[in-house]
């Protein structure tokens, strides 16, 4: 028999969208939500990576589908929301993980890079959140948004590393968008929170970790990078009824890097 505490984390019957869900942090979060009963709609740009992720989750006995979408393009948010509702009939959880980065010195930063990062990390994130809230959460009277921000949205980039001004700016915007939406939608029973990861090994961080990884470890109290399960607990908490009295909050998951 399930304990009352277990029931707070139980996502059986709920549907979650996880953007950037075919690999890395997105797949890690999707795996946690699926393990606790949610049907997950994984969203990414590459069909092959989606197919592999869905196959892996299905082999674990989970319910998962893969949907190709480029959320940096106008119109994709409404289309994606409609496809998920057509497939499952409801949406209960939205995990905004899809993101892009571009490295260049601020004085030479190209407009192309700035627009690419902003279009996906800020505008695309907002438009999907807006569409899901309008078409599902507000009609159902309940919903949970988990934004994947970054410690880069809480601090400046070290001068020894290649500049990422658009990424820092975008993630800072995501952090305050989280607070603003939580304040506006709280009375309508929609919770909006964020996790702010530190450095996890990924395709996006490969170059930075290759050049500065040893220094980062020395600057991290726990002495390690983020691992394959380190976002599972925080994301599950924020997506489930266990976090039912939490909104507008940012959970930093960085091994302590930002405290020193």
For 23-52, write each residue's pLDDT tens digit.
999 999 999 999 999 999 999 999 999 999
Give the active site residue among 36, 109, 167, 199: 167
The pLDDT score that the predictor gives to residue 74 is 87
* Extents of the domains making up the chain: 4-155+163-198+233-250
Long-range contacts of 104-112 (CB under 8 A, 24+ apart): 104/162, 104/163, 105/162, 105/163, 106/163, 106/165, 109/163, 109/165, 109/166
Active site (annotated) includes residue 109:
no
- Residue 188 DSSP code: G
Q: What percent of the chain stands above pLDDT 70?
A: 96
pLDDT per residue over 67-85, tens digit each?
999 999 989 999 999 999 9
Task: With beta carbons less than 8 A apart as the criterion, state whether 190 and 143 touch.
Answer: yes
Q: Indicate the CATH number of 4-155+163-198+233-250 among 3.40.50.970, 3.40.50.720, 3.90.1180.10, 3.40.50.300.
A: 3.40.50.720
Average pLDDT, the chain: 95
Q: Does residue 232 surpass a pLDDT of 80? A: yes
Given a cut of 60, whether residue 1 has pLDDT beyond it is no
Question: Which of 145, 210, 204, 207 has its CA nearest to residue 174?
Answer: 145
pTM of the model: 0.96
Quick one: which of 3, 85, 11, 1 has its CA closest to 244?
11
205 by DSSP, 3-state: which? coil
């Amino acid at each position: 028999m399930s304990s009352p505490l277990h029931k707070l984390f139980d996502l059986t019957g709920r549907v979650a969208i996880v953007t950037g869900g075919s690999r890395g942090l997105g797949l890690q979060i999707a795996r946690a939500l699926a393990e606790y009963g949610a049907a997950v709609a994984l969203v990414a740009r590459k069909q092959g990576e989606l197919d592999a992720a869905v196959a892996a989750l299905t082999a674990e006995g989970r319910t998962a589908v893969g949907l190709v979408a480029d959320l940096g393009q106008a119109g994709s948010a409404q289309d994606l929301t409609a496809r998920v509702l057509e497939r499952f009939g409801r949406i209960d959880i939205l995990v905004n993980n899809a993101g892009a980065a571009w490295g260049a010195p601020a004085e030479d930063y190209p407009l192309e890079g700035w627009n690419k990062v902003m279009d996906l990390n800020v505008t695309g994130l907002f438009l999907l959140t807006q569409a899901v809230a309008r078409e599902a959460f507000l009609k159902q009277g309940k919903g949970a948004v988990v934004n994947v921000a970054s410690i880069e949205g809480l601090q400046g980039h070290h001068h020894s590393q290649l500049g990422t001004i658009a990424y820092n700016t975008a993630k800072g915007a995501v952090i305050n968008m989280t607070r603003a939406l939580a304040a506006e939608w709280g009375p309508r029973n929609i919770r909006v929170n964020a996790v702010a990861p530190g450095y996890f090994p990924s395709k996006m961080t490969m170059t930075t970790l290759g050049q500065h990884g040893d220094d980062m470890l020395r600057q991290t109290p726990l002495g390690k990078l983020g691992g394959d399960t380190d976002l599972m607990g925080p994301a599950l908490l924020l997506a489930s009824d266990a976090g039912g009295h939490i909104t507008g909050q940012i959970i930093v998951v960085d091994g302590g890097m930002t405290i020193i």
